[in-house]
Structure formats: structure tokens, C-alpha cells
Amino acid sequence: MTRTVGWPARPRSARRTSLWCVAAAAALLLLPAAPATASPAPVRAVCGPADPGAVHCLAQVRTDVHAGLGVRGPNARSTALAELPPGYGPSELRAAYRLPAEGGTGQTIAVVEAGDDPQAEADLAVYRTTFGLPPCTTANGCFRKANQRGDAAPLPPDLGWGVEAALDLDAASALCPSCHLLLVEADQAAGDTLAASVDTAAALGATEISNSYAASESNQNAAFAAHYTHPGVAVVASSGDAGYGIPSVPAAYQSVITAGGTTLTADPGSARGWTESAWEGAGSGCSAWVDKPAWQHDPNCPGRMTSDVSMDADPETGLAVYTTDETGGQAAGWSVVGGTSASSPMLAAVIALAGHPARFPDASRLYTAAAGLTDVATGSNAAGTDCGGDYQCTAVPGYDGPTGNGTPLGLTAF
């Protein structure tokens, strides 16, 4: 079957201050934190440009691909809808990363969003039915939606993150269909409300928490780092979609596993059957405010370097996503969506499949797990910037900023 594919400050240690970092940070912080859209396919950032320091979601939707409403594929009621929707679905993603179809029993993946997605559960049902995944509903105990205080009501207003929420729930479902799903909805797209929602997700029993949003790192962000640390819970965040530059938070926090992004392409002639290169929009950068973790040893960044590992993020090779929420500006139905918003919930799902979230109080395990990762050594995210081809912006053998230590190769590393 053919498929188409603001925050209180903590001073930075003087020993890590350099004139270049200060000048670059000062200059870049004057610019809006707008996601890059350099993929050959026309794409739209779901949350649009953000003011400096503001939190925005990272989903990017292709505007040239749309497949209408309703269940498709073998489970469609009409033979006219027998083709699966465009974009990668569960079978392609499992094949690309050599993941089992089963696993994740007892795991709960939380996705943290800003505002309510009123159609989240109904849209998820269409996605899972289309791809033959088991139902995940409130009635059967698999799906739960809560506000940032952990209550079923009142829910916040719809803030236009519907496509983001659908991407996160669909991506987690694709790789871990047996996992329970928890949607926590923050009152606002702000650092304090999203941090509180992460705490709530952990309190409600999440074993993995995915955060597909970002704000540019600044001297105002350190106060929220503690909210992204929960013993026994793996906290994952997207590296950002603006390419090489100032790192994003929460991705730069030491306790967070940062998901960078690749372009994932079918390659039937290769042994793996797939090839990956660094996606040019994938965020990476050297922190000016977060100390370098003891387990990170890259030579040219004295602070926390992002990212840690990566998965498919290029909207050109994006995921099939279903949503009827049009507040983000996207027509209802099937779309192809990417951004590092996709890599974060997928990585959370891989951790859930392996079933050992307590191994991930931070990303340290992934720096000694080369045998369980596919190294990505081509591509760059340095468009419009000058990092001289350094590993911070260019995929190279071993560790690099755009793709980290590589992409999952089965569950050995997890």
C-alpha cells in the first residue's frame, strides 16, 4: 500500500562566561522565538511565532497534505477510504526503530499541553481505530484528561494547541499502544502553569512525561527546573525547532531527556531499510545558564548541551495525525505533522515500551549505550548561522547537538 509520507534568575558561573556567548545570547534574545520552516514541503507552525521568552508549542503541520475526516484504512466503513492516511503510522515507525509491537503494560505516558483540546479523546479514537490499535478511552481506564490541578473540571479554555495535543497522543499511541495516556492541560502557555502541570502528571501516576513546547533559555528560567525532576519518572522534552542557537527550556534542564530531530527516509536498498540525517530545524545549543552534567563530555560547550537522543521530526517525513480541532488554523481531518514535538512523545513511548523509567532520572544512561542507538552522522541545523561545522550544529560520528547520541535501535539502550 502506497503511503505519503517569564522565569526568576540564577546567575551563570563566571568561569563559563565568554564574550561570544553573552553577545550571541543578547542578540538572539531580541528576536522572536519562531520555529524554523526550512523543510522543502510547505509547513505551518501550529502555535506561530512567539515573543522572546514566551512558551510555544513545536508542532509543524504540512499544508500541502490533507486527507479528510473519519476512520480510514482496513477499518473504514467505506471501501473508498481503504487507503491509510498520508504520513508515517505505527508500522513504519516500529520498523524504522526496530521496536516491538507489544510492551508498555503498566506504563502511563503523560503529555502536557496548554489549554483544552475538547475533541482529544474522540480524535484519538479515530486514529487508533484507523491503525488497528486497541481502544484507549476514559471508560476503559486507558485515557484520562485533567487540568493542571489534577481535576477533571473545570478545564482551561482552548488555546489553539489542538493539533499539538493530537500529535502527542497519536505519536505515543503509535509506538506504545498498550500504554495508558494522560493528557494534562495547563491554564496558560506559560512557564509556571506548564511546570505545575508536570508536577500534576507525576502526582497522577505518569511514568513518562512528554513536553513538546519550548521557550528560549534566559536568566529567568532556572526557578522551574525542579518541577521537571520526579524520582522514578522519565521526563522528556523537545529540543526546539529553530535550529542551532540558544537552547530551549525545559530541554536544557539537567534532569530532562532532550529529544532532537532527524529526517527519516525509507531506504529499501540498505540493511536497515531506512536512513536518517539531522533535520535542519532540530534545536541544539550550548547552555549559558545550566551547568554541564557530569555525564556529558563534549569538548566545546562548557554548559549543558542539547540534545541527548533524537527521532523523526522533519515535517517532510512526518507522522499521520488526526484532529477535528481547528483553532490552531488547520482544517479538520488527517494531516502530516512533525517538529521535535513528534520526537518527544515518541521517545517517551520508547522508554515506556522498555518499562524502566526509573533508569532515567536524567539522560546519563544514553551516553553509555552506543550499541543500542543508531548513530546519525549526516546533516546540519546551522542554516542562517555560523558554527563553523562544529558538532554543535552538524551531525558527526558520535555525539552531536542536532541528533545527540543517535536514534533508538530497539530497546537495548532503554
Q: Given a cut of 80, is residue 327 above it in pLDDT?
A: no
Is 95 part of any domain?
Answer: yes
Q: Which residues contact 51 (CB under 8 A, 6 or more apart)?
A: 32, 33
Which residue bears the cell 485515557?
143
Is residue 13 one of the residues assigned to a domain?
no
- For residue 8, tell me if it sits in a domain: no
Residue 36 confidence class, pLDDT cut points 50, 70, 90:
very low
Tell me whether residue 6 is in a domain.
Answer: no
Residue 137 lies in a domain: yes
CATH number at residue 393: 3.40.50.200
Domain contains 244? yes
Q: Which residue has the higher pLDDT, 81 or 30?
A: 81
pLDDT band of residue 1 (cuts 50, 70, 90) is: very low
End-to-end CA distance of the chain: 32
Range of 192's domain? 50-408
Q: How far is residue 112's CA from residue 114's CA, in Å, rounded to a whole number?
A: 7
What is the pLDDT confidence band of residue 30, given thresholds at 50, 70 and 90? very low
Structural domains in the chain (count):
1
In this predicted model, which residue has the larger pLDDT, 396 or 331?
396
Return the exposure string of 278-304: e unless at least 16 CB atoms fall within 10 Å of the residue's CB, then b: bbbbbbbbbbbbbebbeebebeebbbb
Task: Indicate the pTM of the whole model.
Answer: 0.90
- The answer to whether residue 384 scores a pLDDT higher than 90 is no
DSSP secondary structure, 43-82, as one string: EEETT----TT--EE--EEESS----SS--GGG-SSGGG-
What mean pLDDT is predicted for residues 333-348? 97
Q: Is residue 28 part of a domain?
A: no
Mean per-residue pLDDT, 350-355:
98
pLDDT at 26: 35
The amino acid occupying position 38 is A
pLDDT score at 161: 96
pLDDT attached to residue 48: 82
pLDDT value at 395 more than 90: yes
Burial 358-367 (b: 16+ CB within 10 A, else e): eebbbbbbbb
- Confidence band of 51 (pLDDT split at 50, 70, 90): confident
Q: How confident is the model at residue 11 (pLDDT cuts 50, 70, 90)?
A: very low
Please give the pLDDT value at position 80.
83
Tell me if 159 is assigned to some domain.
yes
Residue 325: per-residue pLDDT: 86
